[in-house]
């Protein structure tokens, strides 16, 4: 029998309390890394209502990875936890392995894209779903009653989705695992997709080295496509990028911009990026594994500055324990 919401909420609270050790923030002017306690991965950063938000995966074995928490902050230092904003009790088709959320606002609604069930073929049920809420902290409810993407297209496992609003107002969903990445244009109400002029729905934009964790941003007329390489449980997990004049590419790999540091932490990867509105200030949010940990699920969420050189290339990120300076949004 599928657990009810009250049972899942109790499980959520219990599992989080046995997560990673608490972090004591002695430096009130810096975020510190990790930014909040607990085993959390695949962090999606966003800015809503003059607040910073992080929507991570609760990092646990798939049978216990059945809910999402969120965290909000006004200054990147002090974070408020919002527990169990979505769980499998609210999604009839999701059974386990919920991960890698992506949240976007449209018409005063917040849409929460997520992967569930870790399907390995088209004969299994699951894939990418979408939930909706009136507030960024939820509670979110299943929007469609079924997956939005429930099959493999162009060899891409339906996981690690990222919702992106382009400069022309069109919305896209990038996603993919197993070394393939697709981009599809969302329809007006996010209930499906708009076919491209050639009749296809899912266009493959896979660059060399792509494994999973697609992310794209626009800056000064260029699209920066970023992704994770290596194995998520290994020390080779990292982030690389490419640049193009179009969200469809072509994307030619330039190099790595985030990876582990043997003196700090292992397996730095699966990131997102936020931009302070009205500025050229950027932050990269990612997960990594403490040097003391060997369990693949012992991952924590961290943040660093993301900077560009005078030619528009990304400057490789140095991971730190200090994190970033306090930054209160004024607009």
310 burial (CB, 10 Å; 0-12 / 13-18 / 19+) is: exposed
pLDDT per residue as tens digits for the range 295-310: 999 999 999 999 999 9
Fold designation for 5-306: Tachylectin-2; Chain A (2.115.10)
What is the CA 128 to chain-centroid distance, rounded? 13
Question: Percent of the chain beyond pLDDT 90?
Answer: 90
Q: Catalytic residue among 42, 87, 137, 304, which?
A: 42
Position 329 scores a pLDDT of 84
Q: Where are the beta strands (DSSP E) in the chain?
A: 40-48, 51-58, 67-73, 80-87, 99-106, 109-116, 127-133, 141-142, 162-165, 171-175, 182-186, 193-194, 203-204, 212-219, 222-229, 238-244, 253-258, 265-275, 282-290, 300-306
Res. 18: pLDDT tops 80? no
Position 47 scores a pLDDT of 98
**Over the Cα atoms of the chain, what is R_g?**
18
Who's near 279: CB < 8 A, 6+ residues apart? none
Q: What whole-number distance in Å separates Cα of residue 303 and Cα of residue 35?
A: 7
Position 26 scores a pLDDT of 64
Candidates 177, 181, 141; CA nearest to 157 is 177
3-state secondary structure of 115: strand
Position 235 scores a pLDDT of 86
Higher-confidence residue: 1 or 268?
A: 268
Q: Which of 2-6, 168-172, 250-254, 312-316 has the lowest mean pLDDT?
A: 2-6
Q: Where are the beta strands (DSSP E) in 203-299?
A: 203-204, 212-219, 222-229, 238-244, 253-258, 265-275, 282-290
Q: What's the pLDDT band for 21 if we cut at 50, 70, 90? A: very low
Res. 6: pLDDT tops 80? no
**The model's pTM:** 0.93
Q: What's the pLDDT band for 140 if we cut at 50, 70, 90? A: very high
The mean per-residue pLDDT over the stretch 71-92 comes to: 97
Known catalytic residue at 27: no
Res. 30: pLDDT tops 80? yes
Q: Which of 25-34, 99-108, 295-304 has the lowest mean pLDDT?
A: 25-34
Are 90 and 131 in contact, with CB atoms under 8 Å apart? yes
Q: What whole-number distance in Å separates Cα of residue 170 and Cα of residue 166?
A: 5
Position 16 scores a pLDDT of 47
Domain residue spans of the chain: 5-306
Known catalytic residue at 263: no
Position 330 scores a pLDDT of 76
Q: What whole-number distance in Å separates Cα of residue 132 and Cα of residue 134?
A: 7
The mean per-residue pLDDT over the stretch 299-328 comes to: 98
Q: Catalytic residue among 212, 229, 300, 304, which?
A: 212
Unique residue bearing structure tokens 């810096």: 30
């Amino acid at each position: 029998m599928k657990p009810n919401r009250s049972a899942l909420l109790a499980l959520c609270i219990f599992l989080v309390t046995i997560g990673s050790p608490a972090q004591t923030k002695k430096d009130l002017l810096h975020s510190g890394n990790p930014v909040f306690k607990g085993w959390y991965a695949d962090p999606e950063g966003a800015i809503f209502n003059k607040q910073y938000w992080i929507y991570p995966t609760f990092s646990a074995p798939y049978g216990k990875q059945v809910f999402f928490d969120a965290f909000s902050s006004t200054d990147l230092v002090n974070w408020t936890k919002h527990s169990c904003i979505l769980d499998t009790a609210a999604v009839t088709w999701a059974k386990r392995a919920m991960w890698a959320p992506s949240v976007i606002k449209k018409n005063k609604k917040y849409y929460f894209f997520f992967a569930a069930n870790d399907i390995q073929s088209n004969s299994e049920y699951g894939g990418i779903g979408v939930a909706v809420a009136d507030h960024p902290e939820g509670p979110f409810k299943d929007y469609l009653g079924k997956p939005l993407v429930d099959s493999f297209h162009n060899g891409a496992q339906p996981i690690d989705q990222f919702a992106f609003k382009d400069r022309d107002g069109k919305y896209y969903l990038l996603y993919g695992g197993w070394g393939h990445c697709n981009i599809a244009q969302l329809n007006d109400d996010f209930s499906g997709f708009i076919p491209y002029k050639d009749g296809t729905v899912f266009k493959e934009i896979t660059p060399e080295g792509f494994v999973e964790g697609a992310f794209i941003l626009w800056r000064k007329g260029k699209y920066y496509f970023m992704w994770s390489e290596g194995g998520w449980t290994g020390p080779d997990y990292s982030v690389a990028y490419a640049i193009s004049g179009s969200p469809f590419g072509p994307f030619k790999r330039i190099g790595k911009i985030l990876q582990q540091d043997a003196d700090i932490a292992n397996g730095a990867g699966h990131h997102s990026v936020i931009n302070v509105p009205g500025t050229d200030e950027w932050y990269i949010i990612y997960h990594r594994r403490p040097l003391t940990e060997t369990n693949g699920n012992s991952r924590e969420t961290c943040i660093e500055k993301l900077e560009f050189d005078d030619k528009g290339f990304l400057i490789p990120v140095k991971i730190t324990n200090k994190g970033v300076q306090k930054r209160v949004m004024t607009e």
